[in-house]
Amino acid sequence: MRRSRDVPSLVAAAKAGDPRAVARLVSLVENNDEVLPAVAAALAPSTGTAQILGLTGSPGVGKSTTTNELVRAFRQAGRRVGVLAVDPSSPFSGGAILGDRVRMQDHATDPNVYIRSMSSRGHLGGLAAATPQAARVLEGAGCDPVIVETVGVGQAEVEVASLADTTVVLLAPGMGDAIQAAKAGVLEIADIFVVNKADRDGADNTYRDIQGMIGLAERAAGQWRPQVVRAVASRGEGIDDILAAIDKHRAWLADSGELRNRREARAAAEVEAIALGALRERIGTLRNGDALKSLATRVADGEIDPYAAADQLLSSLAE
């Protein structure tokens, strides 16, 4: 709890642009559930308006390379940029997996670029709770946009993508066809598709398939129709087109009122995730953790079904 007294001064230093304070705050947000409320309270009044860009796609499609190029473009426009690279953990290695971060070394010495990896490891509320706060830290430090890069296409990624004003989904030829993309659940979260590695065989098929899937979707009048852009991020090609699509989407968000809707939905998801994280912790610590454990033993033995066990757990919670 000693650290939580440092929070207001850390937040003030981060707002003044001190990179060590930013790094410290992100670490606190990531690793220390106790100080999250204090950090959130200190940041809430001055944050919540920066542009949040989500960037996602399967492993190997070139997310980090694309992020690197987008950062370069935003810097050229004079904007301070934050990047949160969300890894769904790797307890296996006992540490961060550095592979992709290395590719962002271009910006390692630029004081107007903050790049941080986030891990869900050990975090009670999961990424859905920690990531918005980390984005707020970067915003508090003057970053606009904040790019949230997620690995993979699972539910956690969809949740993280829901933090974004605009979600960019990367595809690459040979990574599977449009049906695979649909299976991976990314079609419904994408505002913009980027067919990366567009110089490779099959890029035209991927482009056509995605356009076909978009054409099939029902869409009310005035609703956003996902844009599809070709790029070869490793050569910097198509980056301007991605930026133009992002700008177009941003204009639509503002004109349609959807920006406000998304930010309220984001706030609701965030509040719910925090509340559920707290409830999960209460469940886990009921009778020093024995409540759940002894019920689980009885379920494994077939003595009681899991719904009846959950009922008992909830009764204990209410006591």
Which residues from 121-150 bind a second copy, rule CB under 8 A?
126-127, 132
Of 108-116, 201-209, 244-252, 257-265, the window that binds a second copy (rule: CB under 8 A) is 257-265
**Spatial distance between the Cα atoms of 271 and 266, rounded to a whole number of angstroms:** 9
Of 72-80, 137-145, 154-162, 247-255, the window that binds a second copy (rule: CB under 8 A) is 154-162
Shortest distance, position 241 Cβ to a second copy, whole Å:
23
Among 122, 260, 281, 285, binds a second copy (CB under 8 A): 260
Helices and strands, counts by H and E, the chain: 13, 7
Of 23-31, 233-241, 247-255, 268-276, the window that binds a second copy (rule: CB under 8 A) is 268-276
Residues from 174 through 193 that contact a second copy (CB under 8 A): 174-177, 179-185, 187-188
What does DSSP say about strands 52-56 and 166-171: parallel, antiparallel, or unpaired? parallel
- Contact mark string toward a second copy, 295..314, x via CB under 8 A: xxx-xx-x-xxxxxxx--xx
Shortest distance, position 169 Cβ to a second copy, whole Å:
12
**Spatial distance between the Cα atoms of 203 and 206, rounded to a whole number of angstroms:** 5
Give the residue with the Cβ less far from a second copy, 244 or 275. 275
Give the residue with the Cβ less far from a second copy, 244 or 289. 289
Strands (E), 161-312: 166-171, 192-195, 227-230
Cα→Cα distances 65→50, 180, 236, 237, Å: 23, 22, 9, 11
Contacts of 143 (CB under 8 A, 6+ apart): 50, 80, 81, 82, 114
DSSP, residue by residue, 132-161? HHHHHHHHHTT-SSEEEEE-B-SHHHHHHH
Among 213, 239, 242, 245, binds a second copy (CB under 8 A): 213
**Spatial distance between the Cα atoms of 36 and 42, rounded to a whole number of angstroms:** 10
- CB burial readout 199-235, b (16+ within 10 A) else e: eeebbeebbebbeebbeeeeeeeeeeebbbbbbbbee
Of 9-17, 196-204, 210-218, 243-251, the window that binds a second copy (rule: CB under 8 A) is 210-218
**Spatial distance between the Cα atoms of 64 and 56, rounded to a whole number of angstroms:** 10
Give the residue with the Cβ less far from a second copy, 212 or 244. 212
Shortest distance, position 254 Cβ to a second copy, whole Å:
15
Residues from 34 through 53 that contact a second copy (CB under 8 A): 36-37, 40-41, 43-48
Q: How many residues of this chain bind a second copy (CB under 8 A)?
A: 90
Establish whether the linkage from the previous residue to 111 is cis, with ω within 30° of 0: no
- Contact mark string toward a second copy, 269..288, x via CB under 8 A: -xxx-xxx-xxx--xx----
Q: Judged by CB under 8 A, does residue 152 bind a second copy?
A: yes
